[in-house]
Each structure stands twice: as structure tokens, then as C-alpha cells.
Structure 1
Amino acid sequence: MLKLNLSKRVFPSVCSPQFSSRTLARALSTEVFGDLKKRKNTPIFIDGEFRDSKASEWVDIINPATQEVLGKAPHSPDSEVDEAIASAAAAYPAWRATPLPIRQRVMFKLQSLITEHTDAIARSISLEQGKTLGDARGDVFRGLEVVEAACAAAPQLMGDTIEGVARDVHCKSIRQPLGVVAGICPFNFPAMVPLWMFPMAAVAGNTFILKPCERTPGAALMLAELASRAGLPKGVLNVVHGGRGPVNRILDDSTIRAISFVGSDVGGRAIWERAAAANPGHGGGKKRVQANLGAKNHAVIMPDADIESTVRALAGAAFGAAGQRCMAISVAVFVGGMSPAFKQRLLEVAQSLKMGEGLDSNTDIGPMITVQARERADRLIQSAADEGAQVILDGRNAGLALEPRLQKGNFVGPTIITGVTNEMTCYKEEIFGPVLCCVEAPTLTAALEIMESNEHGNGAAIFTRDGASAQRFELEAPAGMVGVNVPIPVPLPYFSFTGWRGSFAGDLHMYGKAGLQFYTQPKTITTKWVPSDLSNGAPQHQQGGATGGAAATSNTKATKSTCGKIPGLDRVGA
């Protein structure tokens, strides 16, 4: 049986085998997460403490494998969002003034705590989101890598200095935090995406408002608890819940300086437009935005590709996590056509995958997140057949073969569609399910043209033994992240998550150097200390920022203009 676990790292189990009827109670270690365990419904986290929400609207948290209601999450009212923002704003001055080495030590402690409690977080993810425990551990681990990068953020936050830009004039640049920032997260990576955001923001000196997906809030709250235990001060991280109402409140509030988002095209573009526009009705202003949107990731299969390793890579990338990954391979482009041997082996491997509940260690593929998501995948599979493609492996209704308690789950089995063209609906739209569309192209040039025809540009991969083909693909693939014989080329956090084209909207990409730049702003400082022999022994200081502000003095009287007396100074400033 092919296992699709994202992470090969071994994590110690810290969970009790006994669980109650609630999702967090099922997943949590009593000693560490006791406050969460005893609560009937999902709390908010404001000013360093869990609180019961005063919301009037609640959404059911549903186990997608069984349709069991695990609990309820609130749609935080404006008053709770405002409280969270006020808490973050109040915490900002002291946190910004906290020395960077101390902020990094908090991240070191957070890294240790997440590692210790990975299994507890993974169980919560598996219950709420449906993915296998292996994929859930990978969810945590890939976020943990960003925390580890935050532990060593100092070199990326360093500025630059040039001595002597003019006579006795020196210039330097520094990076300063923005203030209060926020993150809006999707359902498919309940731990990884929050960890892409708040550790980088916090280590740079910002405070953070986190809005996890209301269908999968457990992991975010567990991370908030661990961050508090790691020494993150009250108010530096706050967690609220809900849909459009809380999101719009976050977007419109003038205190929040930047928004990070991962999710759908429609949601991301709406967030980008609203946050980037002035909102005078709320006293708002333009915000920085980084928005990771939808994807249609292609794998190009060259005729010389090794069949066995390529098939296994495709199966994991297309069907793992039920295809609910923004870097999933959803299109395979076969240069010269798909050989009969390749097709047969791909079918064999796909058919060997076991569907089931994520907590079952024998499961390869869990359910999709909602009934609506499953129905949408079913419709797009049918559209392929209606438009002339061949559904050679049909995963619709595959859940009916499972044990009775899982037959109402949101299951779609591995699906393979051949004869697909870039004019078909199943090619144009992101299915976000375990569906692989197979396209044929006569040449690598034609394959690249097919990729270019799709608006998205998140990830791409090529499978080949030929270095020239690989090198050309590296340079010409119209995507921001490229793999050579690597199916899901998500960068390690020393780099950044660099989606292109329709897969990204905003300013700077997430995590890595770009992530720290997103959460900071540069300041350029020009200084002139007049030598004592030119000022009758009185030390004088003249300083101006990058915008040419007024000269400042430090325990001295203001320096008179000497532009005509000191060579070169007339060339400083504008």
C-alpha cells in the first residue's frame, strides 16, 4: 500500500488514548491544554487568555469523515474583533521595544513546545479537517520549519550602512515593524498556514490578529496556548473566529497595517481590493496585502521519465490530502503521449490507495472538507465526461464502499481523467479534490504553452532524466515554484513561497526573506556630526530621514546650513 505521509519525521505520542465527544477534548493533552479541553465550544483568545465568545451566530465544526458535530465555533461580533485589535495595539510598544534576541528565544521555546505536542495538534487537525495523521503531522512540521527560521531572523532584519556619502555625512538603513498585523487562514492547513504568519510577524516586533477557518479552529487555539507558554506576552497574539463579518472588520480597521491571506481566488481578490482601498467610513487606510490564491499546478512528464518513481510522485501529489492542497498536482502533461505501461501503473497505484477516517493508520486518503466541496468535485468530473474526456478511474460514490458510519462522509476517491484539453472546464477550474487531469503535448514547447494558457502560476514540476530539458523548464515554466523530479516544490523557509500570476495578489511573498520584509518597513537615516574644529568646539548633530524631514538636535543648538561651506553636502538630500 502506498503511504502518502508528508513528513518522515517520527513524533512521540503525547495524547491520551481516551477522548470525549468534543474535538479538542479528543485531541488535547490535559496537562497543557486543560483550559481548552474543559470548554464546550470554541473560545476566542484575547489578551493572553481564552474566553467564551458572546457571539449570537455559531457554526458547527463537523468531522468530514462521519458528519459528526464536534463542537461549535463563533462568528466573533465586532466588539470581540475590536477587543482583539485593542489588545494587540496596547501590547505593541513594549513588544517592539523587546530586544530581538529575546523575541528569538520565545521562538526557540515555541519550537520546542510544538515539537513536543505535534501529535496532539495533528489529532485535532485530523478530526476537524479529515486528513490522515501522517499528513496532519506534516502540516505541523512544515509550519514548524518556519518557526525554526524565525529563531534565526536577525540576519534577515539587518540593515545597511555606508560611511562617508559626503564629507562627514553617513547613511544607514534599518528595518522597523509595522505595528498590528493580521492573518486570515484557510481550512486545508490549520497549523502550517498560521505558522507561516504569526511567528515571522512577531519576531520582527509586530503584534498579531489571527482568524483561522471557522471549520478547523482547533490547531490555531492550541498554537496560541503554546505561544503563551513559550513566553509570548499578552496581546501579542490574539485569535478570533468567523466568516465575512469579522474579516471585513479586520480589513476596515485603521489600526491594522497589513493582511496575510491564504485561500480561494474570489476571497483573496476581494480581501486584496478592500484592504488596499481607503475605507473612510471606518477611518481606514491602505494596507499591505499578501494573498496566496488558487492554483492549477502542472507536472510535465517527459518520455524518458522513470515510470515507477514518477507514478508514485504523481499519486502522492495529486491524491494526497484528498487533493486539498494549493500545491497539489492537478494536471499531468505527457510529452509525446502517455505510454500504456505508464497508464497501467498509474491506475494500479491509484486503485491501491485506501480511503477512510484520518485517525485510522491504514488510511491513505481522507474525506473532502464539506458536502459542498465533494459535490463540486463530482460536478467537475461529470463535466469532463460531458465535454469529451475519458474518466478512466472514477472516484465518485467511492465512499459507499466504506463501513456504514463513514458512508455519509465527504469522500471522493482517486480520479484519473484522460483526453483533457485546456479548453475543458475541468482544466480551467481548480477542482481542489483528488482528481488528476491528463493532457498530451507533442513537444516540451507545446507543454509550456499549455501551462501558459492557465491563469494560475503557483507550482510546476518536470519529470525527466535529461538535464537540458530540466534546465529549460526551470527557466521557462510560468510558475513561481518549480520542481525537477520533485512533485510538490514547496520551498524551505530560507526561501519564500513565491506563487506567480493569478495565484498571488499583493506586495511580498510569505515567510523567508520576503516574509520578514512584508512585516517590516525600511527607514533610511542620514547623519552629520560637525567636527569640533569647524564649530568652535561645540559638537553639533544634524539628522534627516529618507523623506527629508527637519534637522534634529541632541542636547545642542540647531546646526546652521553649511551647504556652501562643506564640499559635497549640497549633493545630500533633495
Structure 2
Amino acid sequence: MREVHHFIGGKAVTGKSGRFGDIYNPNTGEVQARVALATQAELAGAVEAAKAALPGWAGTNPQRRARVMFEFKRLVEANMNELAHLLSSEHGKVIADSKGDIQRGLDVVEFACGVPHLLKGEYTEGAGPGIDVFSMRQALGVCAGITPFNFPAMIPCWMSAVAVACGNTFILKPSEKDPSVPMRLAELMLEAGAPAGVLNVVNGDKVAVDAILSHPDIKAVSFVGSSDIAQYVYATGTAHGKRVQAMGGAKNHGIIMPDANMEQAVKDIVGAAYGSAGERCMALPVAVPVGKKTADEFVERMTAEAQKLKIGISTDNDAHYGPVVSAQHKAKIESYIQMGVDEGAKLVLDGRGHSLQGHEKGFFIGPSLFDHVKPGMKSYHEEIFGPVLQVIRAETLEEAAALPSNHQYGNGCAIFTSNGRAAREFAAQVNVGMVGINVPIPVPVAYHTFGGWKRSAFGDTNQHGPEGIKFWTKIKTVTQRWPEGDVGDQAFVIPTMG
């Protein structure tokens, strides 16, 4: 059976813990490989490799680091098909979604190629008599990223590309459910010209996570996962003196106004709710039609549209989405569907029990649709993370907007309308971090920044874009003067205003 171990110091390293996790093929339900789970000592070995590479890499000028990123981008693009099939074989998402996963990661790599400009500091000439002041951004040191199963290419690139381009060395701890693509990305980074030890991959579970959070030589940690774990990572990492950004769960809402283009809204929301089997933190699992007429039409059209979706194996080019990642996750999603029924919501479409001929043991779930969901229901309060769309009816825009504003999560939301003023006011006032106006999944482009509010994010710095540069660097400010001749008794005086 194939085994996945670690990538440390520019080479494959066999795990020594004797502990392994199973890697499934979600299409068949069978174990296809196993992954080594690192010890604290193995994580420490990766830190030593990263520390050894740090002085040379941080001392490499930004333009040369950018050239490595350009080459890394080229190599990933050249290996796109291989990476997409590998990703789909472990995650279960269809090939088109896997290629999108990789491309959204490459968008951030492309942004990181501009690091020579992005690291430029500020300069003030004549801040005082003969005194100039300037600032510079410098690497933090050894950094780490802990990434989830749902985007095994995109999120590792979001973290590592910016961190490495800024001159840091990096340790990636990917999800043990689908670790092969992160391993391959590390190999390609080495091939692109990054010195050995610049990008390391340590596979593992909570033992590896806790080792990262407590290691004194790791200066910053980025995390994406569930909110409870995000809160733990943030609290533990900061308690050990680290800079931490920890992105958590979501419950994104799509508000459909009476003046919305209903045909377009339905097509957008069916993709946002059910695409990638709903395993996206920016999925849209809650629809909020405003007014009874709007709600009745939306539910009728959405029911018909969802029934057209084809669920298939990840290599089926005609499939809209594939299986979920594991049997445990499938059971969890189905338990939430039963919870919604027990709470009194109307189950319009039931995706439980979906079976694919020839793949009866695969982790497939059909699209589920609930109507008449109420804000007090636990199934609405919590993140389901599957192909389940819940409809909450509202009478007014104010009532609709209060739902995402008051929810425990604040990742994103969307409004569908033809009224520019209503959209503008909604975007300004809603209490979430990312807003889409007639855009169902408002993930910002790479040169902006990604991050939610409330229990969707812990820490005060977002991912990628200018915020990413800030997170992965520290600023140093220099005040200088060059006195001429004999200064005699002239002492330095701190410049003052006026």
C-alpha cells in the first residue's frame, strides 16, 4: 500500500512514529494509502531544517525570491492535470473543481511574485535637521501553516507562497485526509529553485499541531479549519508568544430581493450551495428570500434546479459534484439533515441514501433542501459543511440582513437585487467580513484580502493580499543622520513638531 511520509530539508523523510492515518478514495470508500503521523521530535527536525535555510533565504534579495515564485507557478501549471487527478482521488471533488482549487492557489502565488514592490518601505527626508527616517519590512523567521482537507492546494499556497516570498522559511502541516498534493507542491518548490529547507511538509494529527503551537522557534502560525479548533489554535499559539491568524467556520447567507433576477439567482445559488459537495467555507448554505411570493418562487425553482444535478465520481466530466471526503463526514451531514427534520423544518429534498451504481460504498450524498427553517434551530446555528441548503423566509430586507449580522459566524454573505441603493446600504451595514452583490461566493481576488468576522476568524490580520504581507513580516524603522565635521558639543535632539 502506498505510504505518504514527510518532506523535510529538501528530501522525502520516512516517519518514525509508527502511527499512521488512513487515506481513503471517497469514490469507492476504500483505503488507498496511509499517511505517517509525526512525533514532536520529527516536527522539531523540520524546524531545524527551516532554521538552517533561513539566513540564506532571508538574505536573498526579493527579486531573486520572486524568480523562484515565477518558476514555481510555471511548474504547477505544467503539472496541473497530474495535481488535479491526485487531489480528486483523495478529496473526492470533481476534476474541474480540483483545477479551480489549484488555480486559486496560483493566483496568490502570482501575487507573491510582486514581492519586490510589496516589501518596499516608507521614507521621509528631513524629518529633523539632517535627519531622515525610513522603514523596512523583514522576514519573521520560521513560520508554519495548518491547512484543512477541503482545499489541499489553494490554502497551502495562500499561506506558504506569501510567507516564503517575504523571506521566511515554512513548515506546512496539511490535513491527514488528503496530504499528497501538498507533498507534491513542496517538491515543485524545490525544483523551482527554493533552497532545501525553505518549504517543509510534516504530516500529522493533533500531536503535530500542538508541537507547532508550542515550539519556541516558530514565530507565526496560520490556520484554517473549524471554529472550535481555530479558537484553540489562536489561544494556544498566542500564549506561546506567536503571531497567529486562525480562520474558522461559516454559515453564509444569500438574500434574494423581490427585484432580483430570479433565474440568475437560482443558478448562482445552486452552484454555491451544492458545488464541491458544499465542503467550502465560502459555500452558500442559507438562502433568505424576502416576501412570500419571492420565497415560493425561489423554493419551486431551486427544487427543480437541484434535482437536475448529477452526482458522480470525481473523474466524471459530466458530474456537478462528487463524494464527500469521508464516511465520518457523510454521517455527520446526514445527522444534521435528521436534526432539521426533528426541529420542524420542511425537508423538500432529501439527499440521504444516495447510491451510485458500481460505487455503492462511496461517500455520496444527494442535494438536500429545507424550507421554513427558523433562526432558533440548531441545524441553522451550526455549520453543516455539506450539500444542504436551508431556506429562511423573511418579510423585509431589515429582517433578512439581521440573520447574517446576528449569526455566530461572519465569513461572507450575498445579496441578489437590481436596486443599487439597497445593495450599497446592505454591504455597508451587514456584520460580516466579505460581501457579494449578485455574486454568490464573494472570495476576493488574490491582491485583495480574505477574512471573516466573529467566530469565523481569530486574530486581527487576514490572509493574502496586503494583509498577508503584513502578517508574514515585521516592520523596522530607522532614524539616521550623517553629521559633517566636528560636531563639538552638539547633541542629538529628538525631532518635534513645529
Q: TM-score, normalised by structure 2?
A: 0.97
Secondary structure at the counterpart of residue 4 of structure 2: coil
Which residue does 1:306 correspond to in 2?
261
Which residue does 1:271 correspond to in 2?
233
CA distance in 2, matches of 1:408, 1:572: 74
Selected match of 1:433 from 377, 386, 389: 386
Selected match of 1:389 from 345, 358, 368: 345
**Equivalent residues in 2 for 1:311-330, closer than 5 Å:** 311-330=266-285
Selected match of 1:522 from 457, 469, 475: 475
Selected match of 1:258 from 210, 215, 220: 220
**Equivalent residues in 2 for 1:73-472, closer than 5 Å:** 73-278=35-240, 286-337=241-292, 338-399=294-355, 402-404=356-358, 406-472=359-425
Shift of 1:339: 4.1
1:491 to 2:420 alignment: no
Give yes or no for contact 1:126–1:133 (8 Å, CA) kept in 2.
yes
One-letter code of the match for 1:115? E
One-letter code of the match for 1:357? I
Give yes or no for contact 1:58–1:72 (8 Å, CA) kept in 2.
yes
Shift of 1:509: 0.8
CA distance in 2, matches of 1:374, 1:425: 18
Shift of 1:212: 0.6
CA distance in 1, matches of 2:150, 2:320: 16
CA distance in 1, matches of 2:484, 2:291: 75
CA distance in 1, matches of 2:476, 2:33: 47
- Map Cα deviations across residues 9-56 of structure 1 (whole Å, 9 max, x no partner): xxxxxxxxxxxxx7xxxxxxxxxxxxxxxxx31021011011222221
CA distance in 2, matches of 1:570, 1:302: 59
Greater shift, 218-227 or 372-381, is seen at 372-381
One-letter code of the match for 1:295? A
Shift of 1:572: 6.0
CA distance in 2, matches of 1:220, 1:277: 28
1:61 to 2:14 alignment: no
Secondary structure at the counterpart of residue 361 of structure 2: coil
Give yes or no for contact 1:422–1:453 (8 Å, CA) kept in 2.
no
CA distance in 1, matches of 2:164, 2:284: 33
Shift of 1:421: 1.0
CA distance in 2, matches of 1:244, 1:220: 18
**Equivalent residues in 2 for 1:497-508, closer than 5 Å:** 497-508=450-461
Q: 1:441 to 1:339 in 2, by over 3 A?
A: closer
CA distance in 2, matches of 1:449, 1:513: 30
- Map Cα deviations across residues 486-538 of structure 1 (whole Å, 9 max, x no partner): 00010111101021111000131111100011000011111121122x537xx
CA distance in 1, matches of 2:295, 2:44: 59
Query: Which of 1 and 2 has higher RCO (CA within 8 Å, sep 6+)?
Result: 2
Give yes or no for contact 1:507–1:518 (8 Å, CA) kept in 2.
no
Shift of 1:340: 3.5
CA distance in 2, matches of 1:376, 1:85: 36
CA distance in 2, matches of 1:339, 1:423: 19
Selected match of 1:562 from 482, 491, 494: 491
- Map Cα deviations across residues 223-274 of structure 1 (whole Å, 9 max, x no partner): 0111111001000011111100011111110000000000011111111111
One-letter code of the match for 1:384? G
Shift of 1:383: 1.4
One-letter code of the match for 1:425? K
CA distance in 2, matches of 1:561, 1:317: 68
CA distance in 2, matches of 1:365, 1:501: 30
Shift of 1:561: 6.2
Shift of 1:155: 2.1
Q: 1:340 to 1:443 in 2, by over 3 A?
A: closer
Shift of 1:571: 3.7
Shift of 1:387: 1.4
Shift of 1:112: 0.5
Which residue does 2:487 correspond to in 1?
535
CA distance in 2, matches of 1:529, 1:572: 19
CA distance in 1, matches of 2:173, 2:52: 19
Selected match of 2:462 from 509, 520, 526: 509
CA distance in 2, matches of 1:421, 1:495: 35
CA distance in 1, matches of 2:177, 2:496: 56
CA distance in 2, matches of 1:153, 1:301: 40
Q: State which structure, 1 or 2, has the greater radius of gyration over its C-alpha atoms.
A: 1
One-letter code of the match for 1:488? I
One-letter code of the match for 1:535? V
Q: TM-score, normalised by structure 1?
A: 0.85
One-letter code of the match for 1:139? D
One-letter code of the match for 2:313? E
One-letter code of the match for 1:197? M
CA distance in 2, matches of 1:114, 1:506: 31
CA distance in 2, matches of 1:261, 1:340: 40
Shift of 1:376: 1.4
- Map Cα deviations across residues 456-508 of structure 1 (whole Å, 9 max, x no partner): 11111011111111111111121111111100010111101021111000131
> Structure 1: 5+ residue runs without aligned partners?
1-21, 23-39, 279-285, 537-559, 564-568
CA distance in 2, matches of 1:92, 1:251: 19
CA distance in 2, matches of 1:266, 1:447: 27
Shift of 1:341: 3.3
One-letter code of the match for 1:60? D
CA distance in 2, matches of 1:149, 1:504: 23
Greater shift, 465-474 or 178-187, is seen at 465-474
Shift of 1:99: 0.7
Give yes or no for contact 1:187–1:216 (8 Å, CA) kept in 2.
yes
Q: Percent identity?
A: 42
Shift of 1:154: 2.1
Give yes or no for contact 1:46–1:239 (8 Å, CA) kept in 2.
yes
